[in-house]
Amino acid sequence: MIRRVLPSALLVLLVLMVLPFAWHALTRPVLALQGVPEALDRLFHPGAPLSNLAIYAHMITGAVITATVPLQLLPVIRRRAPRLHRLSGYTLATTAVFTGLAGLLYIALQGTVGGPWMSGWFALYGALMILAASNTVYHAIDKDVTRHRRWALRLMVLAVGSYLYRLHYGLWFATTGGIGVDDFHGPFDRAMVWAFYLPYLALLELWFLGERRLSRKPT
């Protein structure tokens, strides 16, 4: 019983944890439109409508995937409402591809506050998100359930990555007061630009490896 309920409980808990950040990402573009100075800050570039549109639109679509990709993995919906799972799956994959593309466009046009080092790792993050979303859909259409599931889990890790980035900073400040943080150029900043997604993806690959080994074991 617990083994059946636990994954769903964890997914719902994850959604509850990311909600405040998703709300922040969703409302920031609205506040920017209203001209609230804190929402405009360094990401708004006067006279650059394309990069402004890209960065604020990616926040909205990013908020949507952060809060809803974990729900997409709920077994009960997959089993009981497969049509809903398919429809929301296409929508979320498209939203994730858009988020990645818009983030990449902003990086190409404006770079990032952390310079080329941060831009490179954020660009890889965006590229991986596009790759994961495309492969999730591709393997679903191909009816390859195993690969579909693996890519969907990779997509979920990436979708909550932006939340994890902020969570890492929050925990670091709470425990150390911010050692190594220096306006996006300190050692902690330079590690965090990859540490919010690569270690989690690596752990997931280890999990898949374990599953493969188990499934090969004779019973």
* Interface with ligand HEM (CB under 6 A): 25, 28, 43, 58-59, 62-63, 65-66, 99-100, 103-104, 106-107, 112-113, 122, 125-126, 129, 159, 161-162
Residue with Cβ nearer ligand HEM (20 or 187) = 20
Closest approach of ligand HEM to the CB of residue 205, in Å: 19
> Toward ligand HEM, which CB reaches closer, 122 or 151?
122
Instruction: Please name the helix (run of DSSP H) or strand (run of DSSP E) that holds residue 76, with its range, or none.
Output: helix 75-80
Q: How far is the CB of 135 from ligand HEM (least distance, A)?
A: 16
Q: How many residues does the chain have?
A: 219
In the complex, what is the shortest distance from the CB of residue 130 to ligand HEM, in angstroms, rounded to a whole number?
A: 8
Say how far apart CA 151 and CA 87 lie, in whole Å. 17
User: What are the percentages of helix, strand and coil residues in the chain, rounded to 5?
Assistant: 85, 0, 15
Residue 89 or 161 with smaller CB distance to ligand HEM:
161
Least distance from C-beta 21 to ligand HEM, angstroms?
Answer: 7
| Burial of 116 per CB tally in 10 Å (0-12, 13-18, 19+) | exposed
> Which of 8, 68 has the CB closer to ligand HEM?
68
Minimum Å gap between C-beta 80 and ligand HEM is 27
7 membership: H or E segment, kind and range: helix 2-33
Distances (CA, A) of 80 to 70, 73, 77: 17, 13, 5
When the beta carbons of 40 and 140 are compared against ligand HEM, the nearer one is 40
Instruction: Tell me if 58 sits within 8 A of 103, measured CB to CB.
Output: yes
Residue nearer to ligand HEM on the CB measure, 70 or 103: 103
**CA–CA distances in Å: residue 177 to residues 172, 187, 188:** 7, 14, 12
Nearer to ligand HEM, 112 or 150 (CB): 112
Shortest CB 32 distance to ligand HEM, Å: 10
Question: Whole-angstrom Cα distance, residue 92 to residue 163?
Answer: 17
Cβ 212 to ligand HEM, closest distance in Å?
28
The DSSP code sequence of 41-67 is TTT--TT-HHHHHHHHHHHHHHHHHHH
